Structure 1
Amino acid sequence: MTADSTQRTGPAFEGRRWMFPSALIHELGPDTERPGRPPRRTARDWVVDFICFLLAVGLGIVGADSVSGDPAIPAAVVAADQILGALACAALWLRRRLPVALAIVLTPVGMASLTASGAALLSLFTLAVHRPFRCTAWIGGVNIVTIPLYVWLHRDPGMPFAADVVLTALLTVSAIGWGLFVRAKRQLMLSLRDRARRAETEARLRAEQAQRLAREAIAREMHDVLAHRLTLLSVHAGALEFRPDAPRAQIVRAAGVIRESAHEALQDLREIIGVLRAGEPDDAGGRPQPTLAALDTLVDECRRAGMEVAFDSRVADPAAVPAVVGRTAYRIAQEALTNARKHAPGTEVTVSVTGARGEGLAVAVRNSPPEGDIPPVPGSGQGLIGLTERATLAGGRLEHGAEADGGFALRAWLPWN
């Protein structure tokens, strides 16, 4: 339901038990759309109004013939009856804008003029379509109660009084009942339309939320991937800056690591940006994402960068680990090694991976205490927050913290079914 439809709710409907949703009020009560101004009519509305006008004119002609054919009725009364009938038929063009006022006015007019009786019936039909049952019941009840008086005023000599009353009551009830049926059908259609509109809105919101979550996951992936590469760049660039007199072989090796890390970082960034532009959170179209089987390559890369890494893998078949679990374990180990390189350079790092199907996969990374004072690194702690969330989303858990000897340990468990 839109805000615009809410603003269209007429004040006459506030605080009533028969209050409808604003969309229903707008459709069933057109005069509430633009108070004080003529309502817009569609082509279908014009056709329906013209048919109602012709029907009222036809019924009025039948009534006028009946009145003019009775010699007991004076000519002045016949002329007044026909004039009232013509005015009542013309007033039907206001039935959409003023249904209540029209029904109230045509109640005594239809009683006094036989020519106007058809217009009075159509006004009751319009009232039942466009106004709630309580309003229709009051005005319709007055019309039904006055039927005996109407029949007495316009007595048909060829029909018994009781039969004439019953027939007129049936016509009145039929007009009101048909109007209530049309209103109920419109309410049902508008309710279904409003429900479909809400379903479309909810589906769009769910799609937007899924897209936002996918982009957040890509952002976390970007942090995990680029932090490792950029840390290598920072470490080796710092070594070249503070050790310009290092042996040529060491300088060449550091330059090679910088070049390779920069190339890998650009490649990873290009793939992530491509995924964001395509709006696809999947891994399709890029390089295969690393899993547990690629952990050996990560450790070798860290060793070539100068880290002391002891790697202990007790998983019989790393390729058998599910892709999501293996990728999560890889990112956890990668982030832990990056943190060890930033916060405890030169220390020995131990990486341990154990587990089996049905028991889960355990990843433990520990580094010994750093030597000397290490300056704080901007943005510290964000990677661990992301790892904790990643492990939780995979159905596992992650713990980390400093140990008694000053070292730092990270332990994670992931389900492997």
Structure 2
Amino acid sequence: MLGVVLTVVAVAACVISSIFVFSTHGYLPATRSFDPTWWSALGFFTGIAAAVMLCWRHKWPELVVAIALVPPLCFRSDALAALIALAALAARRRDRLLWTGSVLVYLATAWALFGDANRHPDVTVAGQIVGKQFSAVQVMGTLTVAVVMTAVPLTVGVVRGMQDKLAVREAKEEELRAEMTRRAERTRIAREMHDVLGHRLSLLSLQAGALEVTKGPATSEAAKTVRTTARQSLEDLRQVIGVLRDGQGFAGNGENGPHPEPPQPTLADIPELVANARRAGLGVNVTILLDDAGGAPALLGSTAYRIVQEAMTNILKHAPGAAAEVSVRGGPGNGLVVEVVNPLPATVTAGKPPGAGTGLTGIGERVGLIGGNVSAGPTEERTFAVRAWLPWGHH
């Protein structure tokens, strides 16, 4: 809105200035020295056209400057339109064309001032008598005023151009930050899908395999575990799809109002996680020694839970039937140590379980987010160990 107002004011000022200049030169009716000629008419309408062209000075600054230079250089008009157009050119460009245009606008301004100043024996510039016609004082004064008049719009245009570039840069940075946020959200979703669904579907796969070779009462219990695990996996999948669909996390709106974000697992949920693994046929020995487990930060608890979950998922995939040792120890001020160790398989299974190997990468990302460290790999004792240390500050 402000730009429109400024444009209207600029056009009106240039039109009024052109009318005033051509009136004082006797080129318009209702003046005592009216002397109409085709040249004077062409000059007047050229000045009006230059004023109207200011409406497009930001879109085509080079063309508008060129048109605005015609009245002062060819028809003894003023250079107001050229000065206004110069500001738009300076906001757009910083090359040789700008400096060429600045010199031409300066010359047009000086020429217009000379024409105005030398119409009377007493030379006046901006209402002040600066000397006689074509005197040294008159020439220096006119050139100095022309420099000032040219420098003002040039400076304003340069400053505005810098502000526009800064605004564009800030907009690009904001867009980049938004893209990074979206990528982080996609990474988080992928990590949650891998950690949550990967573990439960691994249990499901193991139980399904057991059903193929088991007969008797145990079959019923295994089938029950498969059914429960499948139901939980479908519920988790529904929640993750909700995240992908509405882009608002687990708190997005559903048909019946907002869905609250499901609670994240804590240190207290690790025993149940181990119990589920045992029911799936994994031999697990667990040791949990914690000080003030109930006061552990939520992010610390969920990270430790996911580490144990991912480690046992890998055991089910790559070393089925192996026993695992799970140890969770620590307290405020000392940090939390999580260890999951299992014997390496004697032979490599022919059919490699599905998976892209992103689980351990996800563990590293989770641990890094809270300032911890993690290592995973085979040991000299022919075991595979996942060891992580997580910071646990005082309250």
TM class by smaller structure: 0.7 to 0.9
Mapping for residues 308-327 of structure 1, pairs under 5 Å: 308-327=283-302
C-alpha displacement at 1:242, in angstroms? 2.1
**How far does residue 203 in structure 1 lie from its aligned partner after superposition?**
1.7
Measure, in 1, the Cα distance between the counterparts of 2:292 and 2:142: 86
Cα separation, partners in 2 of 1:180 and 1:94, compared to 1, 3 Å? farther
Q: Which residue in the other structure is 1:140 paired with? A: 106
- Seen in structure 2, the aligned counterparts of structure 1 residues 401 and 302 have a Cα distance that, compared at 3 Å, is same
Indicate conservation of the 8 Å contact 1:122/1:175, yes or no. no
Among 46, 64, 71, the alignment partner of 1:91 is 46
**8 Å CA contact 2:308, 2:326 repeated in 1:** yes
* Aligned twin of 2:59: none
In the alignment, which residue of structure 1 is the partner of 2:245?
Answer: 277
- Give the match for residue 332 of structure 2: 357
Pairwise CA distance, 1:358:
2.0
Instruction: Give me the whole-angstrom Cα distance separating, in 1, the residues matched to 2:330 and 2:337.
Output: 6
Counterparts in 2 of 1:317 and 1:101: CA distance versus 1, 3 Å: closer
Using the TM superposition, give the Cα deviation of residue 324 of structure 1 relative to its aligned residue in structure 2, in angstroms.
1.2
Q: State the partner residue of 2:166.
A: 195
- 2:230 partner letter: A
Q: 1:162 aligns with which of 115, 118, 131?
A: 131
Matched residue, 1:13: none
Partner in structure 2 of residue 230 of structure 1: 201
The answer to which of 265-274 and 276-285 deviates more is 276-285
Determine the C-alpha separation between the residues in 2 that align with 1:321 and 1:405: 33
CA drift at 1:315: 1.0
* Structure 1 residues 91 and 130: CA distance shift in structure 2, 3 A: farther
CA contact 2:326–2:341 (8 Å) conserved in 1: yes
Does 2:367 align with 1:396?
A: no
Structure 2 gaps, min length 5:
54-62, 90-97, 252-258
Per-residue CA distance 1:111-153 (angstroms, 9 max, x = gap): xxxxxxxx1444653564455455434563487489779866x
Whether 1:59 aligns to 2:21 is yes
Shift of 1:364: 0.7
Structure 2: distance between partners of 1:108 and 1:247: 109
Is the 2:122–2:131 Cα contact (8 Å) retained in structure 1? no
What secondary structure, in the 3-state scheme, does the structure 1 residue paired with 2:269 have? Answer: helix
Query: 2: distance between equivalents of 1:108 and 1:373?
Result: 92
Structure 2 contact 83–153 (Cα < 8 Å) conserved: no
- Structure 1 residues without counterparts, runs of 5 or longer: 1-26, 28-41, 71-77, 111-118
Corresponding residue SS for 1:374? coil
Partner residue in 2 for 1:262: 230
In structure 2, what residue type is equivalent to 1:162? G
Deviation at 1:404, TM superposition (A): 3.4
Secondary structure of 1:314's partner? strand
**Relative to structure 2, which stretch is displaced further, 269-278 or 406-415?**
269-278
Supply the distance in 2 between the matched residues of 1:232 and 1:360 (Cα, whole angstroms). 31
Q: Given residue 382 of structure 1, which amino acid in structure 2 is its aligned partner?
A: T
Aligned-partner residue type, residue 107 of structure 1: L
Task: State how 1:112-151 maps to structure 2 within 5 Å.
Answer: 119-122=77-80, 125=83, 128-129=86-87, 132=98, 134-137=100-103, 140-141=106-107, 144=110
The equivalences for 1:240-389 within 5 A come to 240-243=211-214, 246-248=215-217, 250-281=218-249, 285-370=260-345, 374-375=349-350, 376-379=352-355, 381-389=357-365
Deviation at 1:46, TM superposition (A): 6.8
Superposition deviation, residue 188 in structure 1: 3.3
Compute the displacement of 1:190 (Å).
4.6
d(CA) in 2 for partners of 1:150, 1:344: 97
| Cα gap change, 1:50 to 1:287, in 2 (>3 Å) | closer
Query: Percent sequence identity over matched residues?
Result: 32
User: Could you tell me how far 1:287 is from its partner in structure 2?
Assistant: 2.5
Task: State the 1:366 CA deviation.
Answer: 1.0
Residue type of the alignment partner of 1:292: L
**Cα gap change, 1:268 to 1:125, in 2 (>3 Å):** closer
Cα shift at 1:208? 2.5
CA distance in structure 1 between the aligned counterparts of 2:45 and 2:227, rounded to whole angstroms: 90
Q: Give the aligned residue type for 1:59.
A: V
Contact between 2:110 and 2:146, CA under 8 Å: does it hold in 1? no
TM-score, normalised to structure 1, is 0.72
Q: 1:116 corresponds to which residue?
A: none
Indicate conservation of the 8 Å contact 1:125/1:176, yes or no: no
Change (3 A) 1:310 1:89: same
Question: Does 343-352 or 44-53 show the bigger shift?
Answer: 44-53
Residue type at the aligned position of 2:208: A
C-alpha spacing 1:88/1:129, structure 2 compared with 1 (3 Å): farther
Pair 1:155–1:401, CA change in 2 (3 A): closer
Give the CA deviation at 1:93.
3.6
Q: Specify the code of the residue in structure 2 equivalent to 1:63.
A: H
Structure with the higher fraction of residues in strand conformation = 2
For 2:329, the aligned partner's letter is T
Distance 2:38 2:152 in 1: 32
